Amino acid sequence: MAYGKRTLLGFLLVHFFCLGTNAKPMVNDGDWPWWRGLERNGIAHGGNYPVDWDKQKNVVWVASIPGRGQSSPAVVADRVFLTTADEKRQVQSVLCLNRASGELIWQKELHKGGFEKEVHKKCSHAAASVASDGERILVAFLNHKAIWLTCLDNKGKVVWQKKVCDFNSKFGFGASPLIYENNVIVATDNQGGGFLTAYDRRSGKAAWNVKRQATPSYSSPTVASVAGRQQLLLSGGDRVSGYDPGTGKLLWSGRGGSVQTVNTMSFGGKHVFASGGYPTKETLCYDATGSGELVWKDKGDIANVPSMIFHKGFLYYVSDGGIAHCREASTGKVLWKGRLKGEFSASPTLAGENLYCISETGVAFLWKADPKQFKLVSEIPMGDEGFASPVACGGKLYLRVAEGKESSRIEKLYCIGPKKPTP
């Protein structure tokens, strides 16, 4: 087994994920197995992460990625998984890389043809991130006007594949699949009528299905331990909702969050947080104990595409227009704003007390998660384009960027950090 010794925290996390299931997720606290990380909050474990690097300095490896995509990598054990799409050949694929070297282990083509004629200019045909339980890789693609959920084993062999539902949205699809206990859960909000659907991740058998509104939205669901229980959180359709992740039962719901949402909800204590930008721009805080009470809202500068991070009672985020924010989570009071260069679609990642993010023009920014003041630490050009959110795990930082334009464009995945194993 390539996991090494588990820390106590890692053991407890694995134990938590295994409760009530025979299908044990083989993940630990040195992994980033799905969208927003092990605890689905955008926060890395450990604190020894790089603060000084460039395209050569402190680069452990760099891998060329064929095609185009905005998905972030999933990092589990000795593997790195990510999706990509060859738009010229109309092929959607999953890549498996060696975590230590970046060498390609396998590439699996899942769909050929069936691409949408139009997606948003900031999207692609490989926007959703992979989820891995250590034995299986779960991936969702929009193809032939439907959402397809595929389960692969660690050798790239298809275990099962399901058509989740027909999908009607002119902007594409970006909701990442979610692993919870025995199941994998996928959200498919679209103008034809969407669903929250859970499948047994081993067999592909349907576990439960919840009908959603007939409006397009692009947010990924998340599971949070909030207000004393596990809740499945999702915004969209002018609603913010909490569900029982085991059954799909609606626990509470509140109005707001915009009709079309993109980012993933954040959470902390008894509160959950949502933001959206169409047609209403607003940031919202809800009581998640069951009342659905709106605690505060603000129509000021919001994060529409990037997700927010809750940390030690404060909300940190970067707006689409490149303004870093810190809010007091309980009141919504803005404590500071700091200007970053460019526009942002990627979500920040917190590692130690530092926030990492990358602009649409491929510049990596590093600033402090300090409620007292905005302090920019680093500004590092890494490419010409950056839409994938940074991943931080095991003392390493993973950045997906693109260099060049049009026919000369090539995507790269950088692994940054000390070349010696992190204790």
Give one word for 174, left, alpha or beta, with left for phi > 0 and alpha for psi -120 to 50: alpha
Q: Which helix (H) or strand (E) holds 297?
A: strand 294-298
Percent of the chain with pLDDT over 90: 83
73-96 average pLDDT score: 97
Rounded Cα distance between 391 and 177, Å, is 17
Q: Could you tell me which residues are beta bridge partners of residue 381? A: 363
Average pLDDT, the chain: 92
214-240 average pLDDT score: 94
DSSP 407: G
Please tell me the predicted confidence (pLDDT) of residue 419.
66
**289 vs 225, 243, 253, 268, 272, CA distance in Å?**
11, 12, 11, 12, 10
Burial 184-194 (b: 16+ CB within 10 A, else e): bbbbbbbeebb
Least confident of 231-235, 271-275, 290-294, 367-371: 290-294
pLDDT in tens, 378-404: 999 999 999 999 999 999 999 999 999
- What residues does each domain of the chain span? 8-416
352-371 average pLDDT score: 97
Superfamily name with CATH number, domain 8-416: YVTN repeat-like/Quinoprotein amine dehydrogenase (2.130.10.10)
CA 166 to chain CA mean position, Å: 23
pTM of the model: 0.92
pLDDT at 293 over 90: yes
